Amino acid sequence: MAVAKPSAAVVIALTGTSFAEAVVSAVIDDAALIAEACIAGYDSDRQTAIVKWIAAHLLASTGTEGVLTSDKLGDAQQSFARATLGDALKGTTYGQQALLLDTNGCLAKQGRAKAVVQVV
């Protein structure tokens, strides 16, 4: 089942990224694949919101500068958000928003090693 996705324009407006719309669309497709198993049971509005925030997280994790968070004209200053490596979706405020929207907690469990108990 395909999940609902936001437009590239929405994600660009949210993040302020300078990536081209085609690149952002590809990132949205990846975000949907990441979330698909966890969000299939949600309504389309919640699916769109979760995919939007995961896409923003991925953009913040991409490239050398991350996502523009503030811009200043006098003395030309810019600040960028970057993901904290190893923290999965917790590594950015964008990812944290996706986790909040996933009321089942499935996204928080993704990427974690599963415990295995063997009797010898």
- Two structure tokens written together for 74: 């006098």
Contact of 73 with 83, CB cutoff 8 Å: no
pLDDT at residue 72 is higher than 70: no
**How far, CA to CA in Å, does 36 sit from each of 10, 82, 110?**
20, 24, 12
Distance in angstroms (rounded) separating the CA atoms of residues 43 and 4: 9
In whole numbers, what is the pLDDT of the chain averaged over residues? 84
How does pLDDT run across 57-69, given as a tens digit for each residue? 999 887 555 555 6
The pLDDT score that the predictor gives to residue 63 is: 58
Decide: pTM greater than 0.75: yes
Enclosing H/E stretch for 15: helix 8-15
Q: What pLDDT was estimated at residue 56?
A: 94
